[in-house]
A and B are shown apart, each in its own frame.
Chain A
């Protein structure tokens, strides 16, 4: 017999039939999530040529996907990531802990690529499928397991 266990979801509408992505402000207020959302909003306001190499502003699809990723990684218990703009209109979220790294690059069209680096410096990178929730959970589980090498993903 298995318990019908669904992780408690403090921040998003994951457990509702609602499709439009939102994060409940009250639930997020005690976490790093609100700071990260503010940072994301600031980055989304960068204007054309923000990198002085002619980059486009951050694309709407990229910032929307980043907002969803921030919410879900907070749900999964990750610490606050660093958030960077990527030339061309994308974004990057980075976590680093005990010489291990997890990077999620959100392309301008909202597609996601990941890069993980283990304690020995071995790397692995790939794209994440459109139904990415399970993939994100797998990456987060890997990152939280401090002993696993990239081959254990």
Chain B
């Protein structure tokens, strides 16, 4: 399946994120974050504390979405553990385990391929599960697998030529005598993955990038896929579906002219 996916030698990819959301690990109190860090600190020496991410499990039909009312005795946190090169990051909270890769420095052409990022995620996830087992904390049922590709398109974001990058967007016209040209355009599309396996979220918007203080177009594709079970094979299948949707959507949403620029070879 994956062999037929479009491939680019120089895509505008700046970050890949693989993560899982699971039933809350109620026993995973704050001291366990530090204990787990001591286990991975050699490879991830930097840490910081972030606000936790909300739950966002995909539901279909009459199912109810999660309501964010919680009974808690202790504050909820998300911990970041990053490597020395600030290229790889592990994010942990009571309901999530996430592994990020991001481009650093000026060389934006060398990025790890999906199989490598997936393997790295699985290795880290298994290590986390071993830790839980050693601490006699029950391993959580995985509810959702998420894969995100963040792309930065380094073009002068002229509103009038967005359709040259994203052909499905009509050229922005002046609609009436009253409304001027918009100051910015933000686009969101949501697609259901067949058989209600999940959804693909496509977001495009201009952003100010902190690393080099440049304004770029950010195209972020996030596939949220419901795995059939929590075992590794089913998680891999869910990530593979998400990856396929993200890659094909990126290719569909962007123009052939840009594909040449990004050196598409398949």
Contact = CB atoms under 8 A, between A and B. Distances in A.
A37 B213 contact: yes
Q: Which secondary structure dominates chain B's binding surface?
A: strand
Given A2-B70, A2-B72, A24 B205 contact: yes
Interface residues of A, number: 36
A22 interface: yes
Nearest to A19: B100
B150 interface: yes
Nearest to A58: B213
Contacts of A6: 51-52, 54
B222 to A, nearest CB: 9
A14 interface: yes
Interface string B180-206: 000111100000000000000000011
Contacts of B205: 24-26
Interface string A40-74: 11001000000000000000100110011001000
Given A1-B69, A6-B54, A26 B49 contact: no
Contacts of A3: 68-69
Contact of B206 (A15, A25, A71): A25
Interface stretch (B14-22, B129-137, B161-169, B226-234): B14-22
Contacts of B96: 17
B174 interface: no
Interface in B37-83: 46-54, 68-72, 76, 80
Contacts of A22: 207-210, 218
Contact of B50 (A14, A28, A60, A63): A14
B185 to A, nearest CB: 8
Nearest to A68: B210
A20 B46 contact: no
Contacts, number: 108
Interface in A66-89: 67-68, 71
A1 to B, nearest CB: 6
B213 A20 contact: no
Contacts of A25: 184, 205-208, 215
A17 B148 contact: yes
A60 B208 CA distance: 15
B1 interface: no
Contacts of A14: 50-51
A21 interface: yes
Contact of B209 (A16, A20, A28, A44): A20
B124 to A, nearest CB: 14
A37 to B, nearest CB: 5
Contacts of A40: 213
B49 A23 contact: no
A21 B209 contact: yes
A23 B207 CA distance: 5
A60 B211 CA distance: 7
A114 B51 CA distance: 22
B51 A15 contact: yes
Contacts of B72: 2
A37 B49 contact: no
Nearest to B49: A131
Interface string A1-40: 1111010000000111111111111101100001001001
24 contacts: A1-B69, A1-B70, A2-B71, A4-B54, A17-B146, A18-B150, A18-B220, A19-B17, A19-B100, A20-B14, A20-B152, A22-B209, A22-B210, A22-B218, A24-B186, A24-B205, A25-B205, A25-B207, A26-B183, A26-B184, A26-B186, A29-B184, A130-B48, A131-B80
Given A4-B70, A4-B76, A130-B48, 19 more contacts: A1-B70, A2-B71, A15-B51, A15-B53, A17-B96, A17-B98, A17-B100, A17-B146, A17-B148, A18-B15, A19-B15, A20-B152, A25-B184, A25-B208, A26-B184, A28-B208, A37-B213, A131-B49, A134-B49
